Structure 1
Amino acid sequence: MTAPNHDDSADARSRPESLRQWSRSLRALDLEVATRATLAMVIPLIVLVLVGRIDWAVYASFGGMTALFGRSEPYRLRARSVSVAAVGMVGSIGFGLILAVFGAPLGLLTAGLIVVLVLGVLLVNTMGLFPSTALFFVFAYTVCAQVPTEPDQVLSRLLVGLVGAAFAWMVTMSGWLLRRAAPERSAPLFKRLPRQPRVNPAAYRDGRVWLSIGQMVVGSLVAGGLAILVGIGHPYWAVVSVVAVMPPPGARHSTSRAFHRIFGTALGVLVTALVLVPGPPVWVLILVIAIGQFGAEILIGKHYGAALLFITPLALTVSHLGSPVPVSELLVDRVVETALGGAVAVILVVATRAGLARATRRSAVTP
């Protein structure tokens, strides 16, 4: 019988610790979330290509954004969050389609935007959704409202969005089955689910919620109005940029997110140009969407600017699939309107922060 090799024993002891560290690193990458969101986005697009209806891509994609909600929530609570998000996404698609059918004038489109902003922020804060932003509802509404639509096309396009949302719901909840089926020893590979979303029925009475709504409404109207005034072809990008930059109710008002968005988008546009300018086949575009969705979900919680290197090609490619325009026009509009929306958001953030500081000082000196 030979004596034990001490080096081998040390290696044996270190292996479990190395495995634990590797598992923690793997979980920290949000691979579950990224994989689910990618599948929910890409599989419907593949189906649409196979049936020859890629013109429905935007509706399937917005329905698929349902999979972005419910991150790190236990499945009994996630079912509620994702269901609420699906209602919000499909409702935004449907509202946009109705206005598109009637060829709504600018004033009516603007009123619709305000409605979506108010209801979206209230929905997110009442139901404790995460991401805690009305961005995706606004994005869906603004795009769908501007895609030319005939009355006989409404039901089919809305159904595509509904099916996309339902599929995303199933993909998002699929982890429950995977966790139950997986052997117990594989549990360290799964991400912990610590988030407990809280329903707040009184959110509509919270002054911070209405302050956030006011900021987004004012910023969206100013940015969108300026984009239209100077004749930029995709004014909704300016609106979306404002909503993306504005902090949620009660969060710290920071300007760094706006700068991350502007510079991240500019670099993301360069990446998109490398993809779209050569005029690749549709399967390459779907691959770009898949990579963009996966990379965005991995990075969004770590560095917003870096995530935009993936978000920008994703958003522009989806937009291009649904409503093709000259690539150079699409890219230039995206950069200019993101800078415009970001600048408006920065001004509002700084003004709000200064106003809140003055109010705090006044209350401190008031006997």
Structure 2
Amino acid sequence: MSVEVGFRAATAVAIPLLVLLALGRLDLAAYATFGAFTALYGRNEPYRLRLRSVTVAGIALLVSIALGIVVAALGEPLPLLTLLLVIVVAGGTFLSSGFQLLPAQPLFFVFALLVCGAIPTPAAEILPRIALAVLVAAFSWLLTMSGWLVRRVAARAGGAGARESVLLKELRRRPSVDRTVFRDPRVWLTVGQNVVGVVLAGGVAVVFGLGHAYWAVVSLVAVIPPARAAHSISRSLHRIVGTIVGVGVTALILVWSPPPIVVILVIVVCQFFAEMLVGRHYGTALVFITPMALSVSHLASPAPLSALVVDRVLETVLGAGVGIVLVLLARWLERSRGLAP
């Protein structure tokens, strides 16, 4: 593991949240956090390639945030939100596959759209909130690219061996631009899974009146494997277990109503370990991603802990259950039509 990637991600979210805390505007925490997610991309990539990955991901995040803010200002009309959700999850899948982003799923794009769309927003606040997200994304972009200078200084000070240190891991990932994604039936299969899944999971959550139905959608997207990846039930189960364990961890953290500074510390620590683990074992990473996400929601719009935990567990099971069915269906389609990699 590289401490560098975890430290970068944690710093990207810590500084904006601490600034908002000092200003007494933690109600804007969601926009700052999602802008900071720009720093989650480009991990272990040479800087000429990282420049492309981080820029593409940052723009996609900002588009998702902006769409969510506009939807919120319009009163969160369900037909419009559903249409935008389908566009973001499909477009995010093609984008992640075409530019070989890591994380390789549209999870954070969907999450940004739905959470920002659920926060009441006066029309006069549309541009300021988008501007905040842009400012934090730009900061995260600079932070992510700043390693270029750090590595040059470290190389001069410590020689070639500095590249192999725990702090500065060798940059071995070499993503390329894949221009065949629109012709690849496996990518279209993943797009179809995500589109059908988010509509089903979100629709059922709305019909049964579950609070914040977006968690069912986010859980669904987390369970669906990336395009061209093996549709493994064991991996999907790991993601379900990781999410549910993460909900339990959140309950233990928030049960005593900690002050905002403690919640921010939890978010920062979870961001660090999530980034350290996401490339190795996604299920384990979700143990940290889930408390981070729920803590952000808690900062932006505090809710009773019982409702927060119960809703999230029910919605996680719902989204993951729909995801498992779609994974099984995809495995059958792959075998019957010879799409398996």
Structure-2 separation of matches of 1:344 and 1:304:
19
Within-5 A mapping of 1:76-91 = 76-91=48-63
Unaligned runs of 5+ in 2: none
Mapped contact 1:82–1:169 kept (Cα < 8 A): yes
Aligned-residue sequence identity (percent) comes to: 52
Q: Secondary structure at the match of 2:257?
A: coil
How do residues 285-300 of structure 1 correspond to structure 2 at under 5 angstroms? Answer: 285-300=263-278
Q: 1:322-361 counterparts in 2 under 5 A?
A: 322-360=300-338
TM-score for the superposition, normalised by structure 2: 0.94
Cα distance change of structure 1 residues 352 and 287 upon mapping to structure 2, 3 Å threshold: same
- The CA deviation at 1:31 is 1.0
8 Å CA contact 1:220, 1:239 repeated in 2: yes
Contact in 2 for aligned 1:30/1:297 (Cα 8 Å): no
For 2:281 and 2:338, the matched residues in 1 are separated by 31
* Counterpart Cα distance in 2 of 1:251 and 1:118: 17
Question: 2: distance between equivalents of 1:269 and 1:344?
Answer: 19
Partner of 1:140: 112
For the residues of structure 2 that align with 1:96 and 1:288, how far apart are their CA atoms? 25
Q: State the alpha-carbon separation in 2 of the partners of residues 255 and 268 from structure 1.
A: 20
- Summarize deviations over 1:342-362 as a string: whole Å, max 9, x none: 11111111111112212239x
The structural deviation recorded for 1:30 is 2.1
* Structure 1 SS opposite 2:146: helix
Distance in 1 (CA, whole Å) between partners of 2:130 and 2:30 is 11
Aligned to 1:221: 199
CA distance in 2, matches of 1:78, 1:301: 16
Aligned residue runs from structure 1 range 116-131, under 5 A: 116-131=88-103
- Residue 131 of structure 1 deviates from its aligned partner by 1.5
Alpha-carbon shift at residue 333 of structure 1 (Å): 1.1
Distance 1:316 1:221 in 2: 22
Q: 2:162 aligns with which of 161, 186, 196?
A: 186
Contact 1:258–1:343 (8 Å) recurs in 2: no
Inter-partner Cα distance in structure 2 for 1:278 and 1:200? 49
8 A Cα contact 2:96 2:106, kept in partner? yes
Give the distance between the partners of 2:252 and 2:338, measured in 1 at CA. 49
Q: 2: CA distance between counterparts of 1:328 and 1:334? A: 10
CA distance in 2, matches of 1:232, 1:348: 22
Number of equivalent positions: 333
Cα distance in 2 for residues equivalent to 1:250 and 1:302: 18
Shift of residue 242, structure 1, vs aligned partner: 1.1
Measure, in 2, the Cα distance between the counterparts of 1:119 and 1:303: 25
2:146 aligned with 1:170: no
Verify the 8 A CA contact 2:103 2:278 in the aligned structure 1. no
1:268 and 2:268 matched:
no
| Partners of 1:34 and 1:294 within 8 A in 2 | yes
The answer as to whether partners of 2:76 and 2:118 remain within 8 angstroms in 1 is no
Q: How far 1:194 moved relative to its partner?
A: 1.4
Bigger shift: residues 178-187 or 92-101: 178-187
What is the aligned partner in structure 1 of residue 185 from structure 2? 207
Give the Å deviation of 1:180.
Answer: 0.6
Please identify, of 165-174 and 300-309, the stretch whose mean Cα deviation from structure 2 is larger.
Answer: 300-309
Aligned AA for 1:301?
G
**One of 29, 34, 40 as aligned partner of 2:12:** 40
Query: How far apart are residue 203 of structure 1 and its match?
Result: 2.0
